[in-house]
């Protein structure tokens, strides 16, 4: 295989948000794309908020799939009907498309790396639930929307695919989230935890699917850790059977 093609699902122009948020999301996307190139992949950017979303089958035809961050998921998709604080950027059409993309990827065992919102989509796609708004989010989010990212300690299951990629079971990561995995889907296993016990990473034990709640692609995150994670994912992509 030459450079494997990785479809990268991102969201840039979220409903109800401003240019500052769009700029942050574009920076995260740019770093993710650049890192994929550096570790030997050919990224294909799909901006979910552009209104031009390819057919799900076209995504599945790529060698791998990466889901980046974005707005909150519509809580009714995981069984929460009441309103909650701090909701932002909800786009039901993007949610439904993302869920379909993940389910299709799992159906054909397409290698998948799901980041931040991506891990939440992965968990809901498999039947799990989310905390729509963490009661105590100070470990996971900066003090305000203007100061979003903070460093967070994560412990990783030493037997996990994630640990083999990261080369460590103790990570300090860049994070900025107010939602998180609540009940882990039956198809998945938790493989990473914050110091307060919140699940920060999941894997599918029978598929090539890994999700992390933090942002390895944030510009001030560890360059080494980001490359290890992305290189591990691309190694999975290269070793997957041809579709």
Active site residues: 116, 215, 217
187 and 200 Cβ atoms separated by less than 8 Å: no
Residue 71: CA count within 13 A, CB half-sphere: 24
Token digits of residue 73 = 């998921």
| Nearest residue to 213 via CA among 147, 145, 154 | 154
Report phi then psi at 164, rounded to 5. -65, -35
Residue pointed to by tokens 């240019």: 19
68 and 217 Cβ atoms separated by less than 8 Å: yes
Token digits of residue 59 = 């995504």
- CA distances (Å), origin 33, targets 19, 57, 70, 226: 21, 22, 16, 12
């Amino acid at each position: 295989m030459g450079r494997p093609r990785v479809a990268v699902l991102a969201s840039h122009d979220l409903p109800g948000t401003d240019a500052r948020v769009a700029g942050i999301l574009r920076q995260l996307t740019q770093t993710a794309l650049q890192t994929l190139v550096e570790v030997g992949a050919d990224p294909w950017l799909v901006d979910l908020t552009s209104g031009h979303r390819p057919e799900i089958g076209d995504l599945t035809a790529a060698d791998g799939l990466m889901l980046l961050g974005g707005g909150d998921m519509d809580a009714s998709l995981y069984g929460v009907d009441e309103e909650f604080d701090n909701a932002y950027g909800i786009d039901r059409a993007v949610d439904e498309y993302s869920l379909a993309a993940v389910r299709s990827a799992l159906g054909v065992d397409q290698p998948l790396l799901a980041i931040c919102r991506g891990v939440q989509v992965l968990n809901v796609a498999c039947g799990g639930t989310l905390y729509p708004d963490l009661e105590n989010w100070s470990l996971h989010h900066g003090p305000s929307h203007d100061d979003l990212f903070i460093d967070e300690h994560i412990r990783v299951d030493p037997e996990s695919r994630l640990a083999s990629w990261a080369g460590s079971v103790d990570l300090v990561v860049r994070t900025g989230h107010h939602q998180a995995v609540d009940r882990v889907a039956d198809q998945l296993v938790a493989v990473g935890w914050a110091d307060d016990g919140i699940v920060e990473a999941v894997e599918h034990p029978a598929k090539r699917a890994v999700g992390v709640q933090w942002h390895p692609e944030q510009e001030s995150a560890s360059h080494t850790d980001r490359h290890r994670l992305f290189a591990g994912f691309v190694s999975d992509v290269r070793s997957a059977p041809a579709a």
